[in-house]
Structure 1
Amino acid sequence: MSWLRQRSKVDLIGGALVALLGIGAVIQGSTYSIGTLARMGPGFFPVALGWILIGLGILIALNADPVAEEDLEHDISRDPADWRGWGMIILGLIAFIIIGRWGGLAPATFALVLISAMGERDQKLVHAVALALGVTVVGALIFSWGLQLQFPLFRWG
Structure 2
Amino acid sequence: MRRDWHDLLGGVAMVATGLFVSIYSQLHYDIGSLRQMGPGFFPVTLGGILAVLGLAIALPAWRRSGTARPLALPEMLAILAAIAVFGFGLQTLGIVVATAIAVVLASLPAPRPGWIWRCVLAVAVTALTWLVFKHGLRMTMPVWPEFPG
The CA deviation at 1:57 is 2.3
Cα distance in 2 for residues equivalent to 1:98 and 1:54 = 25
Q: Are 2:24 and 1:28 aligned?
A: yes
**In the alignment, what sits opposite 2:41?**
44
Which stretch of structure 1 is more off in the superposition, 90-99 or 118-127? 90-99
| Matched-pair contact (CA < 8 Å) for 2:10–2:54 | yes
1:85 to 75, 83, 97: 75
**In the alignment, what sits opposite 2:94?**
104
Greater C-alpha radius of gyration: 1
Cα root mean square deviation, aligned: 2.5
The CA deviation at 1:123 is 3.9
**In the alignment, what sits opposite 2:64?**
66
The CA deviation at 1:12 is 1.8
| Matched-pair contact (CA < 8 Å) for 2:91–2:141 | no
1:135 to 107, 125, 128: 125
Once the two structures are superposed, what CA deviation does each residue of 1:73-111 show, in whole Å capped at 9, x if it has no partner?
x433xx2x2222222223323433455333321111111
Cα distance in 2 for residues equivalent to 1:93 and 1:50 = 17
| Matched-pair contact (CA < 8 Å) for 1:35–1:44 | yes
Q: Which protein has greater RCO, CA pairs closer than 8 Å, 6+ apart?
A: 2
Which stretch of structure 1 is more off in the superposition, 145-154 or 85-94? 85-94
Change (3 A) 1:153 1:119: same
**In the alignment, what sits opposite 1:75?**
68
| Matched-pair contact (CA < 8 Å) for 1:118–1:125 | no
Structure 1 runs of 4+ aligned residues shifted over 4 Å read: none
Counterpart of 1:111 in 2: which secondary structure? helix
How many residues align? The count is 145
Counting aligned pairs with the same residue, the percent is 30
TM-score normalised to structure 1 length: 0.74
Structure 2 unaligned residues grouped into runs of 5+: none
Change (3 A) 1:111 1:52: closer
Counterpart of 2:51 in 1: which secondary structure? helix
Change (3 A) 1:19 1:131: same
